[in-house]
Each structure stands twice: as C-alpha cells, then as structure tokens.
Amino acid sequence: MTNVSIFEATVEHFLAPIMSYMRDPDISEIMVNAPDEIYIERQGRVEKTDARFDDEEALLAAVKNVLQYTGKQVSQQQPLVDSRLPDGSRVHVILRPLCRTSTVMCIRKFAKTLLDADRLLELGSWTPEMMGYLRVCVQGAKNILLAGGTSSGKTSLLNVLSGFVPDDQRVVVIEDSAELDFQKPHVLSLESRPPDRWGRGEVTIRELFRSALRLRPDRVIIGEVRGGEALDVIQAMTSGHAGSMTTLHATGGLDALNRLETLAMMSTVELPLHALRAQIASAIDVLVQVTRFPDGRRMVTGSSEVLPLGDDGKYRIQEIFRYEPPAAGGEDRLTWTGQKSLFADQASIRKLREHWGQAGFVFGGEM
C-alpha cells in the first residue's frame, strides 16, 4: 500500500465525523472547537454542525494520527502545529492548556478548481474596469500590496493576478504555508519551516527572501508579510525587483501602509522614521482592498495609488476605484473616482495600450 493510500485510510478512520465536510467542495473551512462543537464555512457563511467526536481522546488521536503522515508531531513540548495535508489543505492544531477548553483543530481546504479573472466577474467580486486596471498594473510591473481581513480572499486574488504575469518571467514565491498555485511555466515555490521540538532547523520567511534574491527572480511574490521581512521586501521593491506582490492584514489603504511600516520596524535594522516612510512610499505602487461581507461575499472594494510623502512626512494615496454601498433597494458598486492613474504617461504603460481594455479611461483613454 502506498503512503498516499495509507494516509487516506487513516483520514477515513480517524476523521470519520468530518469526512463528509472534507469531501464537500462547497465547504472551505472546518473548525473543530471541541469534540462536540464543530463549525464549517460554506460559501462564505459560518454554520454549526451536528458532527462530533466521541470525546477529546478521540479528537486528539485523530490529530496525532493525521499529523504523523505529514511529518509533524504535536505534544506538550510542541503544542502549536501547522501542517499541510496531501490534498493541499492546511491544518492548524492547538493543544490544552493553550486553549482552555479543548484541543482545537482548523482545516482550511483549497478549491480543486482555481478561480480565474472571468470567474471573479461572474461572482461579482470585481468589475471589468477593475480587472482591466489591475491587469495593466501587473503587466506594467507595478508593485502591488493586497490588504484585507482574515478570509477576505487576498490569497485567491493574488492567485488570479498571477495569471496576468508574462509567461517569460521567472517568479519566486515565498510562503509560510503553501497556498498559492501560480499557473505559470517558470515558478519556484519556497516554504518556510518552523523549528523542531529542540528549537533547531527553523527557516524564516526573511531568510528565504534573502535567498530568493540570489535566484535571479524577475518578480518575488510573498504570500503574506507578518514581521521584519517587510523591510527586506520594501528594499527589494525599490532596488530592481519591480512587479512584486504581497498581502497583509489591514482594513484600508492608509492602514495598510501604516501596518507595513510597523512590520518593517520589527526588523533588526534601525532606520529613521522619515527614511522608512519614504522607502515605503517609493516601493508600493498600488494598494488593493479586499473585503468579506457578512453575507459571505468576497469583493475587491477599492484600489489606490501611492503618492510621494507629504510635506508633513505622512503617507498620501490617490483613490482610483471606490466601493459605493447600496442605496435603498439598490446594489453596491465599485466605481471610478475620476482620478487619472499616476502611471498613465509612463512608457511601460503606454506600450500596453492594447491591453487597457475597459479600464482605458483610467490611463487617459476614452470612457
């Protein structure tokens, strides 16, 4: 019996209470809060299920047996574990007493069929104008920062934007836990590694990023910036690696820049605040906001371009597209603010005129 077959048999046996949810393509997340408290996310909505494990021992046995086939172990010496199942699903486990009530397990599944730009249009996640604008920004090698809350669709949108990267470019992707699946011919995917139970062998995002710069990338894609590696990302964007993209948790354009600043300050390198802000303003070209609504919809809710720092040393942005909440009985909309893109007169963007599509008016063409 192959290792895959053994793993499948293990999953079938130990995860029997939640196997129907594992197989359901409409379910994206399975959240086990306790043996008798299991929630799922189905098409963006969270709901409680009737599923249950017999007791906490059965839940812990399921966790341990599944993890052993992914090369990970969970114990009181290592009570927090991130792992990835053979089908790409991501698993996070927390043991007592870090969680006071029970062993906790969260499984984030990944769609068998990836979203693409046209599918986002069908779902109403963006408009043809926004799609055209971001296509030109990606093809024109603008540095893009995607911001949004947890489960807002940042990673899915980053996957979609990767489809606009020219096929002849070499892309290096760096992640904590592999989620991105760039459908491009020349991609290197790097994944960080946590320390073992003795604190050895850790490889951080920051170390991978420095290594990536020696791999002759045309673009570097960071799944998410979470710490001091933000400074390395900023410096790479300002030193020849145009067209890079990353995501972070933030609620708006200016919030995203301020959070990026905070993360960069976690680096061991000390920079004067004004110098750091100037680098950030120079590094990030486009901010894209992604939002998850209470009804489960995920939508691109705005895009802005970053201006040079103001005389007061503060960040400035120019909104290009803005989300308009629905009026009574109406629909929500993503509308153009009337601002012409800062890149409209750049040679690299003018050469892409045939790709402007329905966003041509943003770059000075006709509406």
Domain count along the chain: 2
Residue that has been written with the tokens 């070209």 in this structure = 285
Beta strands in the chain (DSSP E): 27-34, 37-42, 45-48, 80-84, 90-94, 104-108, 144-148, 171-175, 187-191, 219-222, 245-249, 286-292, 298-307, 316-324, 333-336
User: Is the preceding peptide bond at 97 cis, omega within 30 degrees of 0?
Assistant: yes
| 116-120: long-range contacts, CB 8 A cutoff, minimum separation 24 | 116/160, 116/163, 117/160, 117/163, 117/164, 120/157, 120/160, 120/300
Contacts of 276 (CB under 8 A, 6+ apart): 231, 261, 264, 265
Question: Is 38 in the same domain as 140?
Answer: no
With vertex at residue 173, the alpha carbon angle to CA 171 and CA 266, rounded to the nearest 5 degrees, is 125
Q: Which residues of 102-116 are buried (b: 16+ CB within 10 A; e: fewer)?
A: bbbbebbbbeeeebe
DSSP sequence for 132-188: HHHHHHHHTT--EEEEE-TTSSHHHHHHHHHTTS-TTS-EEEEESS-------SSEE
C-alpha 286/C-alpha 20 separation (Å) is 41
C-alpha 20/C-alpha 348 separation (Å) is 50
Burial class, 156, CB count within 10 angstroms (exposed 0-12 / middle 13-18 / buried 19+) = buried
| Per-residue confidence in pLDDT tens, the chain, 367 aa | 455 555 566 667 788 899 999 889 889 899 999 999 999 998 888 999 999 999 999 999 888 888 877 778 888 888 888 887 777 788 899 998 899 889 999 998 876 667 889 999 998 899 999 999 999 999 999 999 999 998 888 988 999 999 999 999 999 998 887 778 887 889 999 988 877 777 788 888 888 888 988 999 999 998 888 888 899 889 888 877 789 999 999 988 899 999 999 999 998 888 899 999 999 999 999 999 999 988 888 999 999 999 999 999 999 999 999 998 877 666 778 999 999 999 999 998 999 988 888 899 999 876 5
Question: Is 200 in the same domain as 104?
Answer: no
Q: What are the φ and ψ backbone dihedral angles of 113, each rounded to 5 degrees?
A: -110, 125
pLDDT of residue 306: 97
User: Among 108, 141, 162, where does a domain finish?
Assistant: 108
Question: Is 176 in the same domain as 153?
Answer: yes
Q: What are the φ and ψ backbone dihedral angles of 215, each rounded to 5 degrees?
A: -100, 15
Question: Is 47 in the same domain as 165?
Answer: no
Question: Is 10 in the same domain as 61?
Answer: yes
CATH of the domain at 17: 3.30.450.90
Question: Is 82 in the same domain as 211?
Answer: no
Burial class, 297, CB count within 10 angstroms (exposed 0-12 / middle 13-18 / buried 19+) = middle
How many residues are given for the chain?
A: 367
pLDDT of residue 301: 95
User: Among 73, 90, 108, where does a domain finish?
Assistant: 108
pLDDT of residue 229: 87
* Helix residue ranges, H only, 249-308: 253-264, 273-283
Question: Is 50 in the same domain as 173?
Answer: no
Enclosing domain of residue 336: 117-363
Q: For the whole model, what pTM was predicted?
A: 0.85
Question: Is 67 in the same domain as 187?
Answer: no
Question: Is 133 in the same domain as 104?
Answer: no
Structure tokens at 88: 């790409």
User: Among 91, 108, 125, where does a domain finish?
Assistant: 108
Question: Is 81 in the same domain as 177?
Answer: no
CATH of the domain at 222: 3.40.50.300
Question: Is 184 in the same domain as 298?
Answer: yes
C-alpha 205/C-alpha 238 separation (Å) is 19
CB distance 143 to 284 below 8 Å: yes
Question: Is 167 in the same domain as 123?
Answer: yes
Q: What are the φ and ψ backbone dihedral angles of 220, each rounded to 5 degrees?
A: -115, 130
